[in-house]
Amino acid sequence: VLAVDPGLRITGYGVLSTEGRGLKLEEAGVVRGGASGGLAQRVRAIHVGISEVLDAYRPTVLALEELYSHYQRPRTAILMGHARGAVLLLAAQRGIAVKSLPATTIKKTMTGSGHASKPQIQRAMMATLGLKQMPEPPDVADALAIALCHLWTRRIEAVGRRDPDP
């Protein structure tokens, strides 16, 4: 699974695979849209960067955080929508299934609180994945949390679909 935390300046990504009942961190990092340049250049940078990750790892699922807008900052959601759109277009062009998850669900699954802070998510990813240091920047930890939440949700759904033993 490739999970993406989209942003115009920094887009975090994480690639996880399952090994039996375990998880393997394949790759994690960021795509930088840059501090300068216009919107089109930033969206293009995201498109190119995530495209390279897709080429390298060929995930079967792309997981993203659902778009959220705080009433006091609607511009943030609009701008994030551009980054998210670039990622969604890539998934559609390549026939990759997309799973969107609410931010509060991701945070609650990873930390027990739907309002967890960035450092809490970083510490949770460090502990869960057995990392020697916290993932930096926080966008990487967010992407890893999205990937883990998707995988755990998928496992729970699979167990729920099984018929009980007679």
Residues with active-site annotation: 5, 65, 139
Q: Are 128 and 135 in contact (CB under 8 A)?
A: no
Cis before 166? omega within 30: no
Q: Which residues contact 5 (CB under 8 A, 6 or more apart)?
A: 11, 12, 13, 65, 139, 140, 142, 143, 146
